[in-house]
Chains A and B, each alone.
Chain A
Amino acid sequence: MRGLLQDTFAELKSQKMAWVFALIIIGGILGVMASGHIDIKTGDDAIMDAPAEQILSMIVLKLLSGSLQFLVFLMTMSTAGIIPSMFEKGRADFYVSKPLSRTGLLWDKVGSILIVYASILAIAGLALLLTGQSVHGVFEFRWLVLLPTAALLFAIWYSVSLCAVLALGSGTSAIVVTFIVWVMQLVLTGRESIKAFFDSKMLSIMIDTLYWIVPKPIEIEEQITKWALEGTSFEWWAIASSAAFMVAVYMAANEILKRRDF
């Protein structure tokens, strides 16, 4: 990756955000450890009709999923400025004048960002899982699926942020666009209620079309967490359509960069 992986890691180390990530991981570990002190009632007094171990598993899994999602959110925000700073006035010349195609430069940098930040997610996830196993003795191999899922969700959000950055030119606008897409996918999770409320065929078609286009991280996260906990089947199309969206957006970002003068 022509030094871009080392550079991305060095860049992360130099930022205060690395400490924030560390604090979140430590907070998650403490949360998992503390969950052993919850007085789980079983039998007649129980709120949930489930064995204590299953409730503890659910708590650990929710803490794991919540920590990873919070990390993904922070990573999306903190990485929005990386590409703009790379291509800002005075620095773009340094990168673009090297014997690398723009496509190669972009993919190497994006790949480096995804590798570095996915590694943090993996470290966070494994630390929480190890804590759950060693403190409470709860662990299922299928829980590991949450780690690549978190990395995929980060890659999806980063594609939106990257394309917005290259089209609009600033990290702030990238965060705004990413937030708009996040709101859209949140609203679209309630698409059936919206369609029923307005009762319009045209609107219904529009909402369905939009639903197919917009990525679905919330649905993916919910489905995967449920599968990790209960082993129930999940619908692949949410992942497939989101992945297709991500690939299309990365390709659009590449086309924008190829045509740009610095």
Chain B
Amino acid sequence: MNIIDVIELTKVYNPRMKKGGIVALNDVSLSVQRGEIFGLLGPNGAGKTTLFKILLGIVSATAGTALLDGMKSSDPHSREKVGYLPENHRFPPHLTGYGLLKFTGRLYGMSESDIDSRLDILLNMVGMERWGDTPIKKYSKGMSQRVGLAQALICDPDILFLDEPTDGIDPVGKIEIRNIMAELKNKGKTIIVNSHLLAEIENIADRVAILNHGRLIKTGTVSDLTTRGTQYQIDADFGNLLIDIPSEIGKRLSITTSSMVIEMSDSDKINDLIDLLRIKKVSIRAVQPLKVSLEQSFIETVAAEPPRQREI
């Protein structure tokens, strides 16, 4: 069941400019299912933050529809159970960590008792229990990011938007944040993450979308994006054997003494290939679809795109 629906969404900044303005989003349609971790990828200026901002009512859409749990994102009620950690945030500096969480809870219209019951739990969760009474202006970037995550969770959100959540966080902290996200997912929360750290997204996201020049160019599971179609890697003791692969099975792309990469004409032909190798007395250790990292897949996808058309 979809919790977020984006339908033909377009955003043009400064449309009255001579050249027609800057197209930040161009006819983007996607959906996010309840309870999944959804990664939003794209180079700088791809429109990721604009998409976040439209979904959170911070920016208005030029055309199209954005729905949060069935409600238009421009409706403030749609954000009652939505948490948000903005990128490069600057929380009110006169507040302490506790003060920020209390203030955020009040902005959500929560009762004082509800807020108080969550303060220590959340600060503990993000490892900031010792710093709750310290003014935010004295926090390091990493501490500020941690307390920012806590404020995003104060309303016990159903949907959590995280814009570069591990920015400024040390490696141990990154693992902690990843664990928090996994824990939230187990509780049925939906998380939409925007991050440049693709290895991180690869580890945690169920599905990802790649934006470029304001257009959605690819969407799918991490496995979909990292699997090279019908290419397979076979780990085996090939030794000096010269193996001819019949063209009806596929085409050999590379071979070493211990592995071979083959482009199958059809995925169903993999059994024929295994039979052929067994006939030739090859000892097979593993057969697996050839995978690339999400980063490699991302770079290839973006590189295949035409240059940006900023104006309409």
- Residues of A whose CB lies within 8 Å of any CB of B are 2-4, 6-7, 10-11, 13-14, 88-101, 104, 259, 261-262
Q: What interface size band does chain B fall in?
A: 20 to 34
Q: Which of B88-96, B187-195, B201-209, B256-264 contacts A (4 or more CB under 8 A)?
A: B88-96
Given contacts A93-B89, A99-B80, contact A2 B107 (CB under 8 A): yes
B242 to A: closest C-beta gap in Å? 62
**CB of B165 within 8 Å of the partner chain:** no
What 4 pairs across the A-B complex have the smallest Cβ distances?
A: A3-B106, A90-B90, A14-B94, A93-B86
**CB of B77 within 8 Å of the partner chain:** yes
Please, which residue of chain B has its CB at the minimum distance from the CB of A86? B92
B59, A99: Cβ atoms under 8 Å?
no
**CB of B219 within 8 Å of the partner chain:** no
Given contacts A96-B58, A98-B107, A100-B107, contact A7 B53 (CB under 8 A): no
Given contacts A90-B90, A101-B76, A262-B53, contact A2 B58 (CB under 8 A): no
A95, B107: Cβ atoms under 8 Å?
yes
B94, A97: Cβ atoms under 8 Å?
no
**CB of B139 within 8 Å of the partner chain:** no
- Counted as pairs of residues, one from A and one from B, with CB atoms less than 8 Å apart, the total is 84
Report which residue of B57, B79, B88, B105 has the largest number of chain A beta carbons within 10 angstroms of its beta carbon. B57
Chain B residues contacting A96 (CB-CB under 8 Å) are 56-58
Given contacts A90-B89, A94-B89, contact A99 B94 (CB under 8 A): no
A94, B86: Cβ atoms under 8 Å?
yes
In residues 74-125 of chain B, which contact A (Cβ within 8 Å)?
76-80, 82, 84, 86, 88-95, 99, 102-109
> How far apart are the CA atoms of A259 and B60 in the complex, in Å?
8
- Residues of B whose CB lies within 8 Å of any CB of A are 13, 53, 56-60, 76-80, 82, 84, 86, 88-95, 99, 102-109
A11, B94: Cβ atoms under 8 Å?
yes
Given contacts A10-B99, A90-B89, contact A98 B79 (CB under 8 A): yes
> How far apart are the CA atoms of A206 and B103 in the complex, in Å?
49
Given contacts A2-B107, A3-B106, A3-B107, contact A10 B94 (CB under 8 A): yes
B79, A88: Cβ atoms under 8 Å?
no
B209 to A: closest C-beta gap in Å? 21
B58, A262: Cβ atoms under 8 Å?
yes
Report which residue of A6, A10, A95, A99 has the largest number of chain B beta carbons within 10 angstroms of its beta carbon. A99
Residue from B57, B60, B93, B102 in contact with A97 in the complex, judged by beta carbons closer than 8 Å: B57
Chain A residues contacting B58 (CB-CB under 8 Å) are 92-93, 96-97, 261-262
> How far apart are the CA atoms of A74 and B80 in the complex, in Å?
38
Chain A residues contacting B60 (CB-CB under 8 Å) are 259, 261
Chain B residues contacting A88 (CB-CB under 8 Å) are 90
Chain B residues contacting A91 (CB-CB under 8 Å) are 89-92
B108, A262: Cβ atoms under 8 Å?
no
Residue from A11, A93, A99, A262 in contact with B79 in the complex, judged by beta carbons closer than 8 Å: A99
Q: List 24 A-B contacts (CB under 8 A).
A: A2-B106, A3-B102, A3-B106, A4-B106, A4-B107, A6-B106, A10-B95, A14-B93, A90-B86, A90-B88, A93-B56, A96-B56, A96-B57, A97-B57, A97-B79, A98-B79, A98-B107, A99-B76, A99-B79, A99-B109, A100-B107, A259-B60, A261-B53, A262-B59
Chain A residues contacting B57 (CB-CB under 8 Å) are 96-97
List 9 additional A-B contacts (Cβ < 8 Å) besides A7-B92, A11-B92, A90-B89.
Answer: A4-B106, A7-B103, A10-B99, A14-B93, A93-B53, A97-B57, A99-B76, A99-B108, A261-B58
B190 to A: closest C-beta gap in Å? 16
> How far apart are the CA atoms of A95 and B80 in the complex, in Å?
13
Residue from B77, B86, B91, B92 in contact with A99 in the complex, judged by beta carbons closer than 8 Å: B77
Chain B residues contacting A89 (CB-CB under 8 Å) are 88, 90
Chain A residues contacting B102 (CB-CB under 8 Å) are 3
Report which residue of A7, A96, A98, A261 has the largest number of chain B beta carbons within 10 angstroms of its beta carbon. A98
B105 to A: closest C-beta gap in Å? 8
B165 to A: closest C-beta gap in Å? 14
A94, B109: Cβ atoms under 8 Å?
no
> How far apart are the CA atoms of A29 and B174 in the complex, in Å?
57
Chain A residues contacting B82 (CB-CB under 8 Å) are 97, 99
A235 to B: closest C-beta gap in Å? 43
